[in-house]
Structures are given as C-alpha cells and as structure tokens.
Chain A
Amino acid sequence: MALLRYSPESDPVSNLLALQSDLERFLRNPGYGLGVSGSGGFPPVNIFDTGDGVAVIAEIPGINPNAISVSGQGHTLTIKGERRRESSIEAQGYHRRERAFGEFSRSVQLPEQLDLDRAVASYDAGMLTVKVPKAEAAKPRQIAVNAG
C-alpha cells in the first residue's frame, strides 16, 4: 500500500491536495476488516496504516482530554466522552447555534494482529490520535539459518 506522499520538502499546498484526494478515496472503505460501529456517529474517525500498526484519528474539538475515555477490550477500541458547551455562553440569545454537544461513544473493531495493550493516545488541536501497534507475534521476523 502506498504511503501518503507528504513530505516536509514538498510544499504545503501539494501536501494538502494529495492528502485530500487520498482521504476521499478511502471514504467508508469496507476493506481491511475494520469494523466501525455507528458510521456517521460522533466523533468522525479516520483510520490509517502506520507501517507498524494503525492510527485512529478523531476530530473532537474543544474537549478536556481528561473527559475522553479510550479503552480496549478484546479487539475493540472504544472512544467515549462528553463534549460540553463553554459555560460562558449559556442563557442569552443566540444568532447561530451550529455546534453539537453531548455524550458520544464510538467503537472500532481492529484486526487481530494488533496489540491494544500497547496502544497510546494523544490529544492536540482538537484531534485525538490513538496508535495501536502490531502484536510482536504478528511482526515479520528473520529466521537464522544454521549450518548443518
């Protein structure tokens, strides 16, 4: 599988264009045996091959990272939490109210060869990234050839 063609050397505009067309091509792609529950639910997720595992990247802007729960059970990765409205904007009149708040839960069924025990999650600029490495047993290994 081709890796995305983004490199720091090429200019940001072509990086973004390449990214956009690649993301478009894999829109709701049923391949790779990923079971994603509640497609169309919040938060939307993108799933990538990192070479040594997968990365699940979800857009969850404006949430305290402590209010996100990332858990694994068996081969299921679950992202749960609650997005709350900024307290300063209760009560008074709205001109527009387009942003959604409330509880959310998404689960992704990952292929067996991944090791959820060693998953790491980070949150930056409203994006949650969960990286799940391949299990040691699933990694290619070199087998020594002994002289007879």
Chain B
Amino acid sequence: MTAHEIAAQEKQAAKGQEKTRAGRFFLPVVDIQELNDSLKIYADMPGVKESEVEVTLNGGTLTIAGTVSTEVYQKLAPLYTEYNVGNYFRQFELNEDIDDQRINATMRDGVLELTLPKSERAKPRRIEVNAR
C-alpha cells in the first residue's frame, strides 16, 4: 500500500433529532474551509442527484439533506456488500455571519459544494494605522 492510498470510511449514522421518516440516515463527510470572504463546504453524498438535495439556513443553523434514489437497485439481488445506502443529513451551527441571499450550492458527481459568503460586517477588515 502506498502512502497516499485512500482508506474507506465507514458511514456514520446521523445523530440529533429523530426524523419523521423511517430508515437510516448517514452523515455526509465534509471539508469546511474558511476563506477571507466566505466559507466553503464540500459534502460527499454519493447516490444523491442534484434535484434531491436540500440546503437550508435558519437562524444560524445550516442543514444539509440529501435523498438517495433506490431506482438503480430494482431487480438486483445482493451477493456481497460493504456499505449501506441511506439518505444524508447533517447540521452545523454557523458562528460566522452569512449573507443568506448569496449562498451558492452546486451538486456534481455526488459532491455538494456550498459557498457561504460572509456578510459585509463579518469580513475581516484591515485598519490603516496612521502616523501622527
């Protein structure tokens, strides 16, 4: 095995409040990066199509939800499995002040990319120091 070979990650069950929908929910794994003027979130949700993702920001709580399609499994009988399939759900409390009018979300190849622009007053500002 080479140094940068990937190890598979066991899917973690989503925690928190119980869902009204039955079935297992999984936590999408995420990368969250802070840029000067925005937060970037990448969430892996394999099996979720663009139309099946829901992102909401409500009072500082960011909710990511994705519904998997079971269509591809019609007429298939499992022989050997390593992972389970389920909807995705994860919530984050945002400390940053986000401009919710300009949030951008794209879904591509099972990865949700979220750009959360900081609101004007939350952006870092350089303050000129004047000589007297």
Contacts and interface: CB of A to CB of B under 8 A. Distances in A.
Contact of B8 (A23, A41, A57, A88): A41
Contacts of A50: 75-76
B31 A49 contact: no
Given A17-B22, A19-B70, A127-B110, A48 B78 contact: yes
Contacts of A73: none
A15 interface: yes
Contacts of B62: none
B79 A54 contact: yes
A86 interface: yes
Nearest to B24: A20
Interface in A79-100: 83, 85-86, 88-89, 92-100
A36 B110 CA distance: 24
Q: Which of A13, A39, A127 has most chain B Cβ within 10 Å? A: A127
B125 interface: no
Nearest to A63: B109
A88 B5 contact: no
A44 B8 contact: yes
A60 interface: yes
B46 A4 contact: no
Contacts of B6: 41-42, 83, 100-104
Contacts of A46: 78, 80-83
